[in-house]
Chain A
């Protein structure tokens, strides 16, 4: 096992700056996710760790050794590819044992390790099958087994779940996480799915346009995003422009709100939908209460999602365990001061809006 350190790495493809001065520490045995929209440079970063591309500048250090000049086959990394990249002319056994053969592992040990690896990923009796005869989920597991069997110092996963259907995706990601914890292996995981990132990671590194935006635990990323991009990309959020007025008070439009800390100057308030409570009447002892009007509603089982108009801006509010009773018409929004996250950057001139609109 080993840690991975990226020191100011930069990669250009022609005129495009794919990765721009990224520095990242991946602790030994941790599960770190590179999260971002497509084209943000996350896959390029992963491939540089694997050695498929050399960085134009900066260093990659694995287990204390600078590996910039090592070709992929000399690095103790193993990758699970988005399209699995199973060798179609080899059986499952041959696929999984490939890396062991490259390392000159003796036949009996090889057989044992291949079977252990296949068992680990929950596959049995597929040794002699060709990959084309397997289902998508099975192929994915073979790809995982093939990577794990070589006992890499670092396991690299490049959107490994994007070709699976929704239900399987959730199951397999949990399995991958459990395996990683059991084996204590260092893993770097690339995805564009924020929910997936939050669900499996020890740490999440959010990237955009080649730059690292924030590196933190999933909780931190979700609740205390460092900038508007992170807040917007991870989960849903209401953004409200406000002005600090001193004494933990901010002014947002016609309303004054109490927040968790002292702020001055222009700020953006980030409010997760579940951080807002929806009340049929104004409760007398509430601190931050805004009147609003429900415009649309969507029932999602574990929660109900409302789109609420507050002074001409649309808020998105989640109500957990909604039960049978649904709200409608005039309501009051109650916001707990400690759940308001404050960005000191003033996001934009455009009015705050929810990233998702109701289907009308």
Chain B
């Protein structure tokens, strides 16, 4: 008994047909739906086109500008994110919950609208810059883009840094104060160093997002070439698919470099605070010298967030956005007539792909956590790779890869759903991996010891315990799917038009009011769905450890 009892897991797993099957399915699916389309895009241009990159002055400028914006926006978005996360991690910050909620809002914002709202508010004729402050400001160019990207992407930093800050045991702050450190010193010697890995992780994620940012850049950057927009102009202005593929491939080099850095360097350095049992004590009160500036900073950031939504809302009801502020419902009539069905399609596509994402991510995380077959690192890489690919890349890749036998999905809704599904897998995967790490192996051993097979363990033990990450994955994927445009533009089919596509089409026709109305409707529906999902999936969460 002693010999077999020692390694029940090993005995169970080797040759467990269900588990082997799951492994093969996950590997196969990831190879086909992640690796294959990526390969198709990269191999689309001829080698000579890659070799000609140094001769293309605009592309070199775009590369330089992209790296420049990456450094700039990443620095500020992370800084703002840190201040915001630090402020909202203080339990005695007035309005803390509200600020936490607000910081999530930019994640919901569909592309185009954010940047447009900023033009209306902060442009030369901006409500705030001109009407309120009497300034003559040119928002276009890298300075404007800097502002917009900072506001658009700091929530990512808040999410990551906030988790790390919350995980810091308040006792450490007490200990440092007890040993003679003043408030500033505690921050400098304890809080900041402990948060540093989180800050690094946030910076990398923000940097990747900035590199791939297209929606803000296309409206605000003016004629400031960037790789992400350049790929789009290749396509939109010149219908040059091959050139676009080259540009996008240029884009993924720094992105994958950042990504590998994140995986290899940062994620290993997160300190898990060493604590035994012990009651969690409240954080020391935030001194006034800190508290009020923090509150002020939060208010400023909240203002910049709300401006977008006020702008969109105003646009939906004003006769001519930015010019004639007479109230009207005309835009709603037009929006719902043209985009009503598309809203429903958005919901279907969003829910379908978010469900698939969550299931695949969970399965992939389960399989890679086994470390049994030796290829898990490859699978792990494939599962997180899509995060490093810009949407245009996925869109074009899926068209190239899945519009011919054996994968003739072109013209069906599935090609869009699958593209969105796999583009978002990394988000669900990361959540599931983190969730799995919190589950003690002994629970699984207990189940196995009682006779559960490999997949049965997944179903009986892990699925119920991983409902939290599953929900997080579903919500994130859903929001991203219904607000996506870069993939939708390439994969949407005439029979399955979705809302973001209609919004783009309305903007293209100059119907900004209708676009704002449809955006408002989309936001409302997204919020409702997310709330419903929380209720539906989250009902059983009580009593389970929350991550």
- A–B direct contact (CB < 8 Å): yes
Residues of A within 8 A of B (CB): 43, 47, 50-52, 71-73, 77-79, 81-89, 98-99, 102-103, 131-132, 136, 139, 146-147, 150, 156, 159, 162-163
Q: Chain A contacts of B271 at CB under 8 A?
A: 88-89, 132
The reply to whether the CB of B32 lies closer than 8 angstroms to some CB of chain A is no
| B445 → A minimal CB distance (Å) | 23
Q: Chain A contacts of B182 at CB under 8 A?
A: 71, 73
Residue contact A88 to B277, C-beta cutoff 8 Å = no
Residue from B179, B180, B275 within 8 A of A83 (CB atoms): B275
Q: Chain B contacts of A71 at CB under 8 A?
A: 177, 182-183
Residue contact B278 to A163, C-beta cutoff 8 Å = yes
Bound state CA distance, A88 and B197, in angstroms?
Answer: 13
Residue contact B194 to A88, C-beta cutoff 8 Å = yes
Residue contact B277 to A72, C-beta cutoff 8 Å = no
Other A-B contacts than A82-B277, A98-B176, 5 sampled, CB-CB below 8 A, are: A81-B278, A85-B171, A86-B274, A88-B273, A132-B274
Closest 8 pairs (CB-CB, A-B): A163-B276, A102-B180, A99-B179, A83-B278, A85-B175, A72-B177, A83-B275, A85-B171
Residue contact A87 to B180, C-beta cutoff 8 Å = no
Residue contact A87 to B181, C-beta cutoff 8 Å = no
Choose the segment among B14-22, B185-193, B242-250, B432-440 that binds chain A (4+ C-beta atoms closer than 8 Å). Answer: B185-193
Q: Chain B contacts of A163 at CB under 8 A?
A: 276-278
Knowing A150-B180, A162-B277 touch, does A81 contact B174 (C-beta < 8 A)? yes
Residue contact A52 to B174, C-beta cutoff 8 Å = yes
Q: Which residue of A lies closest to B189 (CB)?
A: A98
Q: Chain A contacts of B277 at CB under 8 A?
A: 82-83, 162-163
Knowing A81-B174, A99-B179, A150-B180 touch, does A87 contact B190 (C-beta < 8 A)? yes
A-B contact list, 10 entries, CB within 8 Å: A82-B276, A82-B278, A82-B279, A83-B276, A84-B275, A98-B179, A98-B181, A102-B179, A132-B271, A163-B277
Residue contact A85 to B185, C-beta cutoff 8 Å = no
Q: Chain B contacts of A50 at CB under 8 A?
A: 174, 178
Bound state CA distance, A83 and B170, in angstroms?
Answer: 11
The reply to whether the CB of B412 lies closer than 8 angstroms to some CB of chain A is no
Bound state CA distance, A356 and B169, in angstroms?
Answer: 37
The reply to whether the CB of B464 lies closer than 8 angstroms to some CB of chain A is no
Residue contact B169 to A73, C-beta cutoff 8 Å = no
Residue contact B181 to A85, C-beta cutoff 8 Å = no
Bound state CA distance, A146 and B179, in angstroms?
Answer: 8
Residue contact B178 to A73, C-beta cutoff 8 Å = yes
Q: Which residue of B lies closest to A136 (CB)?
A: B276
The reply to whether the CB of B172 lies closer than 8 angstroms to some CB of chain A is yes
Most buried by A among B177, B193, B272: B177
Bound state CA distance, A99 and B178, in angstroms?
Answer: 8
The reply to whether the CB of B8 lies closer than 8 angstroms to some CB of chain A is no
The reply to whether the CB of B134 lies closer than 8 angstroms to some CB of chain A is no
| A57 → B minimal CB distance (Å) | 18
Residue from A72, A83, A86, A131 within 8 A of B178 (CB atoms): A72
The reply to whether the CB of B284 lies closer than 8 angstroms to some CB of chain A is yes
Residues of B within 8 A of A (CB): 169, 171-172, 174-183, 185, 189-190, 193-194, 196, 271-279, 281, 284
Residue contact B284 to A83, C-beta cutoff 8 Å = no
Q: Chain A contacts of B276 at CB under 8 A?
A: 82-84, 136, 162-163
Bound state CA distance, A81 and B280, in angstroms?
Answer: 12
Bound state CA distance, A36 and B284, in angstroms?
Answer: 25
Bound state CA distance, A139 and B277, in angstroms?
Answer: 14
| A160 → B minimal CB distance (Å) | 11
Q: Chain A contacts of B194 at CB under 8 A?
A: 87-89
| A106 → B minimal CB distance (Å) | 16
Q: Which residue of B lies closest to A90 (CB)?
A: B193
Bound state CA distance, A132 and B193, in angstroms?
Answer: 16
Residue contact B171 to A78, C-beta cutoff 8 Å = no
Q: Chain B contacts of A162 at CB under 8 A?
A: 276-278
Q: Which residue of A lies closest to B173 (CB)?
A: A85
| A131 → B minimal CB distance (Å) | 6
| B152 → A minimal CB distance (Å) | 31
Residue contact B193 to A79, C-beta cutoff 8 Å = no
Most buried by A among B171, B175, B194, B273: B175
Residue contact A150 to B278, C-beta cutoff 8 Å = no
Q: Which residue of A lies closest to B278 (CB)?
A: A83
Residue contact A139 to B180, C-beta cutoff 8 Å = no
Residue contact B171 to A81, C-beta cutoff 8 Å = yes
Q: Chain A contacts of B174 at CB under 8 A?
A: 47, 50, 52, 72, 79, 81, 85
Q: Which residue of B lies closest to A99 (CB)?
A: B179
Residue contact A88 to B274, C-beta cutoff 8 Å = yes
Bound state CA distance, A71 and B185, in angstroms?
Answer: 13
Bound state CA distance, A146 and B274, in angstroms?
Answer: 16
Residue from A73, A83, A89 within 8 A of B171 (CB atoms): A83
Residue contact B274 to A52, C-beta cutoff 8 Å = no
Bound state CA distance, A355 and B512, in angstroms?
Answer: 78
Bound state CA distance, A98 and B173, in angstroms?
Answer: 13
Residue from A72, A79, A84, A159 within 8 A of B274 (CB atoms): A84
Residue from A79, A85, A147 within 8 A of B169 (CB atoms): A85
Knowing A85-B171, A102-B185 touch, does A150 contact B273 (C-beta < 8 A)? no
Most buried by B among A71, A82, A83, A139: A83
Q: Chain B contacts of A147 at CB under 8 A?
A: 179
| A66 → B minimal CB distance (Å) | 19
| B285 → A minimal CB distance (Å) | 9
| A103 → B minimal CB distance (Å) | 6
| A61 → B minimal CB distance (Å) | 18
| A97 → B minimal CB distance (Å) | 10
Bound state CA distance, A103 and B177, in angstroms?
Answer: 12
| A49 → B minimal CB distance (Å) | 10
Q: Chain A contacts of B171 at CB under 8 A?
A: 81, 83, 85
Bound state CA distance, A309 and B454, in angstroms?
Answer: 56
Bound state CA distance, A150 and B182, in angstroms?
Answer: 16
| A23 → B minimal CB distance (Å) | 24
Q: Which residue of B lies closest to A82 (CB)?
A: B278
Q: Chain A contacts of B181 at CB under 8 A?
A: 73, 98, 102
Q: Chain A contacts of B179 at CB under 8 A?
A: 73, 78, 98-99, 102, 146-147, 150
Most buried by B among A72, A84, A132: A72
Bound state CA distance, A102 and B175, in angstroms?
Answer: 12
Q: Chain B contacts of A51 at CB under 8 A?
A: 177-178
Q: Chain B contacts of A47 at CB under 8 A?
A: 174, 281
Q: Chain A contacts of B273 at CB under 8 A?
A: 88
Residue contact B177 to A73, C-beta cutoff 8 Å = yes
Bound state CA distance, A352 and B169, in angstroms?
Answer: 44
Q: Which residue of A lies closest to B186 (CB)?
A: A73
Bound state CA distance, A252 and B190, in angstroms?
Answer: 62
Residue contact B274 to A99, C-beta cutoff 8 Å = no
Bound state CA distance, A47 and B282, in angstroms?
Answer: 12
Knowing A87-B190, A99-B180, A103-B180 touch, does A81 contact B175 (C-beta < 8 A)? yes
Q: Chain A contacts of B185 at CB under 8 A?
A: 73, 102
| A143 → B minimal CB distance (Å) | 8
Q: Which residue of B lies closest to A158 (CB)?
A: B278
